[in-house]
Every structure is written in structure tokens, then in C-alpha cells.
Structure 1
Amino acid sequence: MTYLKRKFFMKNLFVALFVLTTSLTATSQVKATAFPDAGFMAAFPTKPEVEKNQIDTKVGKIQSTSYSCEGEDFVIVLSENVYPAELITKLGDTGVDGILDGVKNGAIKNVEAQMEGKYAPTLDEKYLYNEKYKAIRFAGTTAEVDMEAFCIVKENHFFIVILMGNTKSEAATQFVKSFKLIEK
């Protein structure tokens, strides 16, 4: 191999390795941001808009904080709702199951109203998140728009995550994989 060919080959090899390394590094560097006051961490694809509300209900004041962001073809909404601790204790497991069902039914009704279509479920299951927190996950389609959601109850904190649109996009999938509760 002549000197020029070798130099050209080495330069192209260096560029190819640089591009490969950079793309692998960029893909693996999805960083989760901790929200310690809310008790979770997640890798939002873009900086989320944060909105705080206090809701007066028959059972007391509920503190609600929502984190939302949009991707190219999806929307993520994460809501943390803090119920009065004594209420959750009083409700027990049956009451918490009722709240989980209420969250699911309320989300479905909202999607049906917004999308003006009937919800067709593809997933509906209760499970234990981290093998200790009651949770529900559900998914379906309304007017050709996909939705995936899960709700986790940790003590008197309810975390509700809803993805709409292309729920299988890489950024949406990374977000779901990165979501973790922060244990104290």
C-alpha cells in the first residue's frame, strides 16, 4: 500500500471510528434527572413543563404536580398527586385499588373525549411496582392514537404516567425505562 493510500485509509478509519463512538456514546448517555422532592427520576426527552396545583376535594387537599413534554410524534405527561396520608391509611388496599381503577377510567374518558373516539384496550393489568407498590398499567387506541399509561401508589403519592402518539419511539421507550422511584 502506498503512503497516500495508507494515509487515506487511516483517515477514513479514524472518521468511521469517531462517528461510531460518538453515536454509541450519544445513545448510551440518556441521563435521568432526579426530582427528589417529588420522589422520582426520569429521562425526559426534552425539558418538561412543570405545573403545580392544589385541588380541594371532599377528602381533603390534593397537591398535584404535572411534568409534560412533547417529542416529534408523542406526548409524555407525568403527574405526581399527594393525597392526605390519613386517607390512604383509612382506605386500605381495597380503596387504593379503587383509586387505581378510577385513574384508569378517568384517563380513558379524557382520551375518548379529546380524540372523539372509542377506546380499544390492548393491555390492562395490576401489578406490584418494585415488588412492593400497588400499580396498574393499561394501553389502547382511540381514533388511531395509541396510549400507554401506568400508575403507581407509593404511600400517599400517586404517580401517573401517560404516553400518547408513537409510544414505541426510542425517546418514549427510553423515558419509560428510565422512570424510577427514589427510595428514601
Structure 2
Amino acid sequence: MKKILAAAILLACSFTAISQTLTEYPESGFGVVFPSKPQISKNQFDSAVGKIDMVMYMSETNDFMAMVSENKYPAELVAKLDSEGIKKLLDGAKNGALNNMATQMSAKLVIGTETNSLLNDKYPLLKSEGKIGDFSYQLQLVLRNNQMYQMLAIGDLNADSVKQFFKSFKLL
């Protein structure tokens, strides 16, 4: 019985270690620690600024859902933006992502705190926290050249793996 219990503990610890490993996605230009192996999907959609290519990485646990999407905007459009235009682009992407999520969940969106800063002292970063229905969310958007990265977690934001998810994100 002790051997079975020890094996079960070892197995549980090994799954925890696996889920805490930084995985790099060079085709999308980032690395992050997902709480579980993500599902990957690719889409293209029309927007007011032209066609946007999107690759989405989504991971779920019992406590929360984590997602990173890489969105490629028309390079000539982004190159023309000043700092105010970049803030508007990030804000529009934030509103679109959160309103879309609220619509899919048939829930009310309440945006709480928001901050603008730089990732790695270089890339525009917008952070937003609030509620979608009964669920808390945290969203971070980063713009690197014409690539926008959206990192979203919905659920128990106090979980260590949520904190690690955001803290581990890096551009390649």
C-alpha cells in the first residue's frame, strides 16, 4: 500500500513539473508556461484595418482557462501609428476580445483596472482586469511591430499557475 501511495505522489508531482515548463512557440514568436497542453487553432478574419491572421493557444484546468493569441496586423498600418494610435489599437483589441468573450458566455462585462506600460522596456503593453459574469479575468495585450499578443486568463486568478502563466510570457 505504501508503494502505491508513493507512486501516486510521484506521478502527481511529475504532472505538476510538466505543466510548469516553459514551452516556446517559435512560429508565433513567444514562450509561456501553460497549465496544460494547449489546443491550437488558426483563423483569419476581416477587420476595419484589413485581414488579420490569428493563431490561438488555449489551455484549460478545473480552475481557469488560459489563452494566448498571436494576431498579425497589416505591417504598413501599424508602422504609421504614433503612441496614441497604438493605445487605440490595443484598446480596440481589448474591447473586441472581452466583448466577444462576454457574448459567448451570455454574461455582463465589467472592466475593473487598466494600466498601460512597456514589456521589456520596449513593447506597448495594456493590462486589464475585471469580471465577465461570475468569473474574474486578467488580460494582457502586447504589440511588437505588427504582431499583437493577447494573454487571457478567466477563472481563479489567485491560482499559482495563473500567476506563473503571465509571469512566464516572453517574446522570442
TM score, norm. by length of structure 2: 0.83
Which consecutive unaligned segments of at least 5 residues does structure 1 have? 1-18
- Select the residue among 61, 65, 69 that pairs with 1:75: 65
Between the aligned residues of both structures, percent identity stands at 35
User: How many residue pairs end up in the alignment?
Assistant: 165
1:144 aligns with 2:125: no
Cα separation, partners in 2 of 1:52 and 1:117, compared to 1, 3 Å: closer
1:119 and 1:55 mapped to 2: Cα distance? 23
Q: CA RMSD in A?
A: 2.6
Larger radius of gyration: 1
Q: How far does residue 84 in structure 1 lie from its aligned partner after superposition?
A: 1.4
Q: 1:113 is aligned with what amino acid?
A: T
Judge which range, 110-119 or 99-108, deviates more: 110-119
Which consecutive unaligned segments of at least 5 residues does structure 2 have? 1-8
Cα separation, partners in 2 of 1:48 and 1:27, compared to 1, 3 Å: closer
Aligned twin of 2:5: none
Q: 1:180 is aligned with what amino acid?
A: K
Cα separation, partners in 2 of 1:92 and 1:167, compared to 1, 3 Å: same
2:164 and 2:155 mapped to 1: Cα distance? 15
- Select the residue among 79, 88, 91 that pairs with 1:98: 88
1:28 and 1:61 mapped to 2: Cα distance? 36
TM score, norm. by length of structure 1: 0.78
2:18 and 2:36 mapped to 1: Cα distance? 16
SS of alignment partner, residue 82 of structure 2: helix
1:108 aligns with 2:98: yes
1:120 aligns with 2:99: no
Aligned twin of 1:156: 146
